Amino acid sequence: MNRETERLYFASDYMEGAHPAIMQKLLETNLEKTVGYGLDAYSESARAKIREACQAPEAMVHFLVGGTQTNATVIDALLKSYQGVISARTGHVSVHEAGAIEFGGHKVLTIEEKEGKVTAEGVKQCLMEYWKDDNHEHMVMPGMVYLSQPTEYGTIYSLDELEDISSVCRENGVYLYVDGARLAYALAAPGNDVTLPDLARYCDAFYIGGTKCGALFGEAVVFPNPKTVPHFFTIVKQHGALLAKGRIAGIQFDTLFTDGLYDKIGENAIRMADQVRAALRAKGYEQGIENPTNQVFLIVENDRQAQLARQVELAFMERVDAQHVMMRIATSWATSQADIDRLIALL
Amino acid sequence: MNRETERLYFASDYMEGAHPAIMQKLLETNLEKTVGYGLDAYSESARAKIREACQAPEAMVHFLVGGTQTNATVIDALLKSYQGVISARTGHVSVHEAGAIEFGGHKVLTIEEKEGKVTAEGVKQCLMEYWKDDNHEHMVMPGMVYLSQPTEYGTIYSLDELEDISSVCRENGVYLYVDGARLAYALAAPGNDVTLPDLARYCDAFYIGGTKCGALFGEAVVFPNPKTVPHFFTIVKQHGALLAKGRIAGIQFDTLFTDGLYDKIGENAIRMADQVRAALRAKGYEQGIENPTNQVFLIVENDRQAQLARQVELAFMERVDAQHVMMRIATSWATSQADIDRLIALL
Amino acid sequence: MNRETERLYFASDYMEGAHPAIMQKLLETNLEKTVGYGLDAYSESARAKIREACQAPEAMVHFLVGGTQTNATVIDALLKSYQGVISARTGHVSVHEAGAIEFGGHKVLTIEEKEGKVTAEGVKQCLMEYWKDDNHEHMVMPGMVYLSQPTEYGTIYSLDELEDISSVCRENGVYLYVDGARLAYALAAPGNDVTLPDLARYCDAFYIGGTKCGALFGEAVVFPNPKTVPHFFTIVKQHGALLAKGRIAGIQFDTLFTDGLYDKIGENAIRMADQVRAALRAKGYEQGIENPTNQVFLIVENDRQAQLARQVELAFMERVDAQHVMMRIATSWATSQADIDRLIALL
Amino acid sequence: MNRETERLYFASDYMEGAHPAIMQKLLETNLEKTVGYGLDAYSESARAKIREACQAPEAMVHFLVGGTQTNATVIDALLKSYQGVISARTGHVSVHEAGAIEFGGHKVLTIEEKEGKVTAEGVKQCLMEYWKDDNHEHMVMPGMVYLSQPTEYGTIYSLDELEDISSVCRENGVYLYVDGARLAYALAAPGNDVTLPDLARYCDAFYIGGTKCGALFGEAVVFPNPKTVPHFFTIVKQHGALLAKGRIAGIQFDTLFTDGLYDKIGENAIRMADQVRAALRAKGYEQGIENPTNQVFLIVENDRQAQLARQVELAFMERVDAQHVMMRIATSWATSQADIDRLIALL
């Protein structure tokens, strides 16, 4: 195929396979026999490395397959049957999980957000409104807060913001859970000051995304306090989320947490996204929500969008008005300079 | 490590990685970019090959990750909210899925089995008991039948048996669903007369197991009539069962259905299991449920079991009496002659 | 007790027992023996009268116990497992049912409202947004629309409005369901032009409220087309909503639908509410949402509210600002002129 | 109507209305205004009397509407999301609740019974089988035991039996819950030695049946330790089981627990059942499960059953063989001597 005329793909950050080091390791270990369900030595090793990276020596770590599955399983595990989860109106659990949280019996209690982020104040107000309402016993009790880092719009919480939200949660006895589907891109973002140990210190649970950050699939759930959820293994099984050949996830995370790979794996995506942002500015495009991670939002006219669509696949975000749409360009750990050059030329 | 003293693993058939051809293909395609969620060309190709192998040109085919997940998703998709699924008392959905079916709101209606198999007569009786009971409107309505081929005990349904059960289902307006977690081992079993086209003809849904039959993970769900379940994609998403990088499953099944690999992939396991069965007979062991597939059951004294456990990992099935237990030896597509020789020497 | 100093109760419309004619009939029939579960002659008679009042000769009618139960049961019966229900942001199912809809696995898809009412346009937009979203297969599919008549704020839909919403629903293949917890107060409202036959013509299901409209308890669910939900009896049982002594509900509705009682039973409440509204205007109170039914909303200063609370029980609606709250006065079929006079004197 | 030719009803114990004292009290209080949801003075009084009758001064008492609803709500409240409830194979929750327990996400783990009763040994074995199974983390964890007193077959647990089962539960950290739908008939049974204080001492939760024991409807749930289930009110609401006019249930239980009415209300039913049992013996009928409460089981030929059915309504229990069926005669607190005389004459 002629590289010059080949279609470009920038619709998402899960369009390639896995980091070569992962493929290499999977290949090397392929015919070894190990026990299943994540009890193998590779998974154990991955868990140990994650605990160390998080400075959370007691943490319980489990490997699940995908993001929606992980959110549904962890939220169901943390909530009582009559509780709901507070989320930004734009949170993935609220909008794009086909009702997986409700399937588990829980309401998503949406609050206002700005560029995908909620505030400690917003969370506090939601909690106060519930507890001060005379009829609160007839309402869904908020039992936890769901954040994504980075958010669905690529923005990131600062350490101060995370700390404030965590304080509100702890003062009010609700859990804090962070969806890290794209966590590597937050960790590598310029200006980011939230580290893995910070997440372990401020959250009751969070997951380190693999699917969008260099793995074939897989999300590493971390409960810094291992007593938070008894029998989580069975809950994972009940949710259909237990991988028989658990080591396939274990090997991937073991690789991602060897020699600090996970900390660095997002850097390429951000370098590439920054080039696109600069080009868009130079060419006078209107950008949507600006952010320091791997998602670039641009607002284009319908005609322009139709034209672009013939050569490059972008993600549709929302209709801005009758004439304009907001599209997304997502880069990844694997995006090549050649593809970015071609994209910029097209724009 | 000295091969002679290395621990042997025969506890299950999902202890290795994937068939080398799969690993090769994953490696070759690793840095290609494709759309997600199973809409890529590899998944399309795999679907086309499966439709052809099943002689079911209209079939709807979806790739899910694991067996419990697949059972929970398909059963929830086929049943009305107030219906239950008929299963052998020993069926995987009844015993070993941590309540995944009930999590979806459905009761497992267990009936008697023999060596893991139910009969058309047993199914019919269960349906008649429901419909003839004066109080049936206060009871869970049976909406489908769940079988496993091979069963949890390695036994297989003959074509006549499958046809009879299918007839009872169709006469009574209930669906028939077959769990093919180990289907390759049935297809390769001597005496088996149930082919993929037979499954497509007699079932409303079935899945072709990948996890235990040569893939890293993955199960291919087949609905011979594509109108059986509208919006199955969304149901899969709601169950947390949608793989973002769907092609990773697609590539695996595309490989398994190239050049008839899936038809042959179980042969090695059966050859190896047959050697074990012969050795057990020769050495005077009592075997549990005899079957033509890849699981060998043996009844041993507690002491003997403790002794074996030091060198080989077997699966515990059940306590037979105070002095005896039934253990399982499972072979796989990857079991080596060397390991079988060592196992037989040990026995 | 001295009537003059006795505490006044205007917090809700379910503070008394039942209409005397109901109590009389329950007493008369008390020691008769009848079959259970609503299959008795009284329930049959009530069903026949309701079908006639609704001019829906084929309608399927079931008697349930309470409003939240009825909503949860009917919504679960109408929706596919992966669908959600569209409701006003302020709808009872969204706010005050403790997550009963989500307990059944369904998301409440909230849309904007005005004074508790949604519009055909709003419903249409919600449906279009879903179907036009590239990612809609990852989202909860709207399967029905939930309205309340009158709304939680006492406002009522006109026949034109109902017809428009119904048209949008039918054009888009989603069900329309009306919560008539306080239906008698809409039917008796000046200016109301939506009759029971209109509801039967425009809705796929609705319920005629008993609990708040003269019964001890009970809600009559009407499916104008009896084929809408097969096996509804079993669904009711599964939801724990089946009354063993079904006749107790049947007798109540039989009485409410004898000699047009249900059509008239709301009149007293509205007369009383109108007196309160006039008095509030005369005394210069700021009223909240104005409406023609049995709920009166007033905005008072915190101090005034505290003062009133010592003598009369009102319902807290919401905090308007730091100094003001919105309270509700609810009248009922049983509110006495004497109590209204005392209330007005107090205000 | 001519009493002599009127059809007789003995199919169940919920065929009449309520005890006259209840009707009287409902009538007297009918137009009083009280707050809703069981927070009124009548409900408070009923709770106080029940606590006293149970010698459980701290007990939390809630009034629900029906038996299936109560079982589903209490079981869901007591279990973790991944746990199941142990029940006799013949338990009401297992057979006749249309999957209400599974609707809440929980599996009913059935064990063998004799005449409707399970044993401490049977419960212990079920628990041991779970905890000793190598795969128990893939199975549904038993979280509680469900008993009915009397059972669905009228048999009763002795104090020793209850104590033994309770001991097994406490030693194993699972809850014990007793379904007392027909509790009054156990309390009044000759030979019964299990009192309300015994239930309060040995159970974690139980309910005192109203529907079948003199009330129009209503079941009083008792948690001897009020801390067992936090936020039970909200759980009740979420299950659609919260009665708006809670006092209607409160007044009924207040009456049933005034002057020891509940202790005596079953006596008539047992006297009447004993007369039937004696008559059956005298006339040479084969009786089914013999028991000391208000249910009489008889085995009759098909022809005889068809003949009886023309004059008296009995409940069908099960087909014994091609020629015989087991039928049930149920007496109640309201059964008259005249009806019993006519029944005996017919037999």
Q: What are the tens digits of pLDDT across the range D193-248?
A: 999 999 999 999 999 999 999 999 999 999 999 999 999 999 999 999 999 999 99
CB–CB of A103 and B34 under 8 A? no
Confidence band of A4 (pLDDT split at 50, 70, 90): low
CB–CB of C238 and B76 under 8 A? no
The reply to whether A107 and A247 lie within a common domain is yes
Neighbouring CB atoms inside 10 A of A320's CB total 14
User: What's the confidence (pLDDT) of residue A306?
Assistant: 93
Residue range D111-120, pLDDT digits in tens: 999 999 999 9
Residue burial C139-167, b: 16+ Cβ < 10 Å; e: rest: bbbbbbbbbbbbbbbbbbbeeebbbbbbe
CA distance D286 to chain B (A): 22
Sequence-ordered alpha helix ranges (H) in chain C:
20-28, 41-53, 67-78, 92-95, 100-103, 120-132, 159-172, 183-187, 196-202, 232-238, 247-256, 261-265, 267-282, 302-309, 337-346
Is pLDDT of D1 > 50?
A: no
The reply to whether B189 and B208 lie within a common domain is yes
Confidence band of A1 (pLDDT split at 50, 70, 90): very low
Beta strands in D224-314 (DSSP E): 286-287, 295-301, 312-313
In chain C, what residues touch A92 (CB-CB under 8 Å)?
Answer: none
Q: What is the DSSP string of D20-65?
A: HHHHHHHHHTTT----STT-SHHHHHHHHHHHHHTT-TT-EEEEES
* Chain C: touching chains (3 or more CB pairs < 8 Å): A, B, D
Phi, psi at residue C263, to the nearest 5°? -65, -30
B interface with C, Cβ–Cβ below 8 Å? 76-77, 80-82, 104-105, 137-139, 141, 231, 233-235, 237-238, 242
Residue range C105-129, pLDDT digits in tens: 999 999 999 999 999 999 999 999 9
What distance in Å separates the CA atoms of residue B272 and residue B342, rounded to the nearest whole number? Answer: 12
Residues 6+ apart with CB under 8 A from C297: C153, C154, C287, C288, C289, C317, C326, C327, C328, C329
If we measure between CA atoms, which residue out of A136, A75, A137 comes closest to residue A108? A75
- Across the interface, which of C96, C106, C135 has its CB nearest the CB of A102? C106
The reply to whether B47 and B163 lie within a common domain is yes
> For residue C175, what is the enclosing H or E element?
strand C175-180
The residue among C231, C245, C272 with the most chain D CBs within 10 A of its CB, best to mutate, is: C245
Cβ atoms B327, B305 nearer than 8 A:
yes
The reply to whether B70 and B149 lie within a common domain is yes
User: What's the confidence (pLDDT) of residue C7?
Assistant: 87
Does residue B150 form part of some domain? yes
The reply to whether D94 and D229 lie within a common domain is yes
Does residue B2 form part of some domain? no
Residue range B60-105, pLDDT digits in tens: 999 999 999 999 999 999 999 999 999 999 999 999 999 999 999 9
Average pLDDT over residues D258-269: 97
The residue among A33, A63, A81, A242 with the most chain B CBs within 10 A of its CB, best to mutate, is: A33
Average pLDDT over residues D273-301: 96
User: What's the confidence (pLDDT) of residue D188?
Assistant: 98
What distance in Å separates the CA atoms of residue C195 and residue C119, rounded to the nearest whole number? Answer: 19
Tokens standing for A237?
Answer: 């099984």
In this structure, what CATH number is given to the domain that contains residue D75? 3.40.640.10
Residues 6+ apart with CB under 8 A from C152: C90, C91, C92, C95, C96, C116
DSSP bridge partners of B179: B148, B207
Is pLDDT of C146 > 80?
A: yes
The reply to whether B196 and B109 lie within a common domain is yes
Per the omega criterion (within 30 degrees of 0), is the bond before B150 cis?
yes
Per-residue pLDDT of chain B (347 residues; tens, 9 = 90+): 445 568 899 999 999 999 999 999 999 999 999 999 999 999 999 999 999 999 999 999 999 999 999 999 999 999 999 999 999 999 999 999 999 999 999 999 999 999 999 999 999 999 999 999 889 999 999 999 999 999 999 999 999 999 999 999 999 999 999 999 999 999 999 999 999 999 999 999 999 999 999 999 999 999 999 999 999 999 999 999 999 999 999 999 999 999 999 999 999 999 999 999 999 999 999 999 999 999 999 999 999 999 999 999 999 998 899 999 999 999 999 999 999 999 999 98
Residue range A219-244, pLDDT digits in tens: 999 999 999 999 999 999 999 999 99
Confidence band of D319 (pLDDT split at 50, 70, 90): confident
CA distance D72 to chain A (A): 13
List the domain range (segments joined by +) for residue C304. Answer: 8-16+265-346
The separation between the first and the last C-alpha atoms of chain A, rounded to the nearest angstrom, is: 22
User: What's the confidence (pLDDT) of residue B3?
Assistant: 52
The reply to whether A24 and A12 lie within a common domain is no
Domain's final residue, options A261, A282, A307: A261
CB–CB of C82 and A95 under 8 A? no
* Burial degree of C32 (CB within 10 A; 0-12, 13-18, 19+): middle
- Count Cβ–Cβ pairs < 8 Å, chain A vs chain C: 58
Average pLDDT over residues A190-201: 98
User: What's the confidence (pLDDT) of residue B326?
Assistant: 94
The reply to whether B240 and B271 lie within a common domain is no
Domain's final residue, options D235, D260, D285: D260
Does residue B1 form part of some domain? no
With a pLDDT cut of 70, the percent of chain A lying above it is 99
Cβ atoms A220, A43 nearer than 8 A:
no
CB–CB of A102 and C84 under 8 A? yes
CA distance C48 to chain D (A): 22
User: What's the confidence (pLDDT) of residue A146?
Assistant: 98
Cβ atoms A70, A224 nearer than 8 A:
no
The residue among B68, B103, B129, B316 with the most chain D CBs within 10 A of its CB, best to mutate, is: B103
Cβ atoms A82, D234 nearer than 8 A:
yes
Gyration radius (Cα) of chain D, Å: 21
CA distance A107 to chain C (A): 6
User: What's the confidence (pLDDT) of residue C4?
Assistant: 55
CA distance B243 to chain C (A): 12
CB–CB of A216 and B245 under 8 A? yes
Is pLDDT of D258 > 80?
A: yes
CB–CB of D238 and A82 under 8 A? yes
The reply to whether A66 and A199 lie within a common domain is yes
If we measure between CA atoms, which residue out of A87, A79, A84 comes closest to residue A235? A79
In this structure, what CATH number is given to the domain that contains residue A337? 3.90.1150.10
Does residue A3 form part of some domain? no
Does residue D2 form part of some domain? no
What distance in Å separates the CA atoms of residue B227 and residue A327, rounded to the nearest whole number? Answer: 34
In chain A, what residues touch C97 (CB-CB under 8 Å)?
Answer: 138
User: What's the confidence (pLDDT) of residue D118?
Assistant: 98
Neighbouring CB atoms inside 10 A of C280's CB total 18
The reply to whether A94 and A172 lie within a common domain is yes
Tell me the angle at which helices C120-132 and C159-172 cross, rounded to the nearest 10 degrees: 20
Q: What is the DSSP string of A81-93?
A: TTEEEEEETT-HH
Tell me the angle at which helices A267-282 and A337-346 cross, rounded to the nearest 10 degrees: 20
CA distance D205 to chain C (A): 19
The reply to whether C328 and C234 lie within a common domain is no
In chain D, what residues touch A77 (CB-CB under 8 Å)?
Answer: 81
Does residue D26 form part of some domain? yes
Per the omega criterion (within 30 degrees of 0), is the bond before D142 cis?
no
Confidence band of A3 (pLDDT split at 50, 70, 90): low
Average pLDDT over residues A184-211: 98
Does residue B284 form part of some domain? yes
DSSP bridge partners of D86: D109, D145
Bridge-based pairing state of the strands D60-64 and D219-223? antiparallel
The tally of domains found in chain B comes to 2
User: What's the confidence (pLDDT) of residue B330?
Assistant: 97
If we measure between CA atoms, which residue out of C152, C18, C150, C165 comes closest to residue C97? C152
If we measure between CA atoms, which residue out of C88, C150, C118 comes closest to residue C330? C150
* Chain A: touching chains (3 or more CB pairs < 8 Å): B, C, D
CA distance D98 to chain B (A): 4
In chain D, what residues touch C32 (CB-CB under 8 Å)?
Answer: 16-17
Mean model confidence pLDDT for chain C: 96
Residue of B nearest to C239 (CA): B82
Helix (H, G, I), strand (E, B) or coil at A324: strand
DSSP bridge partners of A87: A110, A146
D interface with B, Cβ–Cβ below 8 Å? 81-82, 84, 95-99, 102-103, 105-108, 133-135, 137-140, 315-316
Give the C-alpha distances (Å, rounded to integers) separating B222 from B62, B74, B232, B340, D98: 7, 10, 11, 34, 30
CB–CB of B140 and D84 under 8 A? no
Cβ atoms D201, D190 nearer than 8 A:
no
Domain's final residue, options B203, B231, B260: B260
Of residues C319 and A202, more confidence is placed in A202
* Burial degree of A5 (CB within 10 A; 0-12, 13-18, 19+): exposed
Residue range A52-73, pLDDT digits in tens: 999 999 999 999 999 999 999 9
Does residue D92 form part of some domain? yes
The separation between the first and the last C-alpha atoms of chain C, rounded to the nearest angstrom, is: 22
The reply to whether A246 and A98 lie within a common domain is yes
With a pLDDT cut of 90, the percent of chain A lying above it is 96
Q: Find the farthest-apart pair of alpha carbons in chain A and give their distance in angstroms, rounded.
A: 68
Residue range A72-87, pLDDT digits in tens: 999 999 999 999 999 9
Residues 6+ apart with CB under 8 A from C16: C332, C334, D30, D31, D32, D33
CA distance D83 to chain A (A): 10
Residues 6+ apart with CB under 8 A from A171: none
CA distance A178 to chain B (A): 18
- Across the interface, which of A76, A137, A231 has its CB nearest the CB of D233? A137
The residue among D73, D76, D78, D81 with the most chain A CBs within 10 A of its CB, best to mutate, is: D81
If we measure between CA atoms, which residue out of D209, D185, D246 comes closest to residue D45? D246
What distance in Å separates the CA atoms of residue D121 and residue B284, rounded to the nearest whole number? Answer: 36
User: What's the confidence (pLDDT) of residue B7?
Assistant: 87
B interface with D, Cβ–Cβ below 8 Å? 81-82, 84, 95-99, 102-103, 105-108, 133-135, 137-140, 315-316
3-state secondary structure D72-103: HHHHHHHCCCCEEEEEECCCHHHHCCCCHHHH
User: What's the confidence (pLDDT) of residue B136?
Assistant: 95
The separation between the first and the last C-alpha atoms of chain D, rounded to the nearest angstrom, is: 22
Mean model confidence pLDDT for chain A: 96
3-state secondary structure chain B: CCCCCCCEECCCCCCCCCCHHHHHHHHHCCCCCCCCCCCCHHHHHHHHHHHHHCCCCCCEEEEECCHHHHHHHHHHHHCCCCEEEEEECCCHHHHCCCCHHHHCCCCEEEECCECCECCHHHHHHHHHHHHHCCCHHHCCEEEEEEEECCCCCCCCCCHHHHHHHHHHHHHHCCEEEEEECCHHHHHCCCCCCCCHHHHHHHCCEEEEECCCCCCCCCEEEEECCCCCCCCHHHHHHHCCCCCCCCHHHHHHHHHHCCCCHHHHCCHHHHHHHHHHHHHHHHCCCEECCCCCCCEEEEEEEHHHHHHHHCCEECEEEEECCCCEEEEEEECCCCCCHHHHHHHHHHC
Q: The pTM is what?
A: 0.97
Neighbouring CB atoms inside 10 A of C202's CB total 22
If we measure between CA atoms, which residue out of D70, D108, D55, D49 comes closest to residue D260? D49
